[in-house]
Amino acid sequence: MEYRRLGRTGLKVSPLCIGCWRMGGNQTDEETSLTILRAAIDAGINFIDTADVYTGGHSERIVARVLEGRRSEIVLATKCRGRTGPGPNGEGASRKHILEACDASLRRLGTDYIDLYQIHHWDGTTPIEETMRALDDLVRSGKVRYIGCSNFSALQICRALWAADRAGGAPFVSVQPHYNLLDRSPERELLPFCQDSGIGCINYSPLAGGLLTGKYRRGHEPAAASRAGREPRLRQRLDDRMYDRLEALEAFASQRGHTLTHLALAYLLAQPFVTSPIVGATSVGQLQESLGALDWRLGTEEIAQVREIAG
């Protein structure tokens, strides 16, 4: 497997990151989650992403079990910002919440350091200078190696970088945006800014909530257990125009001996500003399907064709 630098850092990560937001929940129980994570590591994936709010902290506890005896092999990423306790300080990006949330994550993860600690969402009630100073203190203490953000705009990242630079502190090295073939809006501003600034992109929802897997078919109701079957907003996206796009993309991939999932991930991996798309899996089979994308390198003409088809 060919590993990539995370932004301008020297940290090497796999071209796919395994996401743990469902692990320990109703769909993916603990033992299934552990099987998936171990299969991912055995396949060469060294990058795991979770958060303190995923399945009420259970996701981090599951990851802890996988880290046993293999901690040095893994680049571990987690996040804070969401509500994890009562009262006005039970959430946010204040110094108080960040320091307490980091210690709580370290306990759940069973480790003494986090490789990439990320702010999950922008906090408009806390000065960014306070947030960046707290994160820098975590880096200086050795509890955190690198810092990043998720769901930040280009302007918000720029403000964070300015604050860190003025204070001589650690800067963000990565961002997690929502980005896939059906939502290419980050290509307009966020990702060019990140490429210019040396910020690595570890985008989530690369398969658009399952729309880019080929499991939804025109004229057939989504299976009740599928994400579109459970989420009305996702199901509403499955109109004739969407099926036209999905069918054309799938045909493009099939003509080249690949699947729609392979195409969705290969397109992202071909972008110079993308480090590692974050893939989820509820089975080892789904994980293996995503890994198949690593065998396909899209050329310049193919990228242009895919963009035209995707719209």
Beta strands 172-176; 278-279: pairing state? unpaired
Least Cα distance to 182 among 141, 222, 237 occurs for 237
**Annotated catalytic residue within 54, 117, 216, 267:** 54
Q: How many of the other CB atoms lie within 10 Å of CB of 82? A: 16
Q: Which residues of 142-172 are buried (b: 16+ CB within 10 A; e: fewer)?
A: ebbbbbbbbbbbbebbebbbebbeeeebbbb
Given 3-state DSSP classes, what are the helix, strand and coil percentages for the chain, each rounded to the nearest 5?
Answer: 45, 15, 40
54 catalytically annotated: yes
Least Cα distance to 96 among 80, 112, 113 occurs for 80
End-to-end CA distance of the chain: 31
Catalytic residues: 54
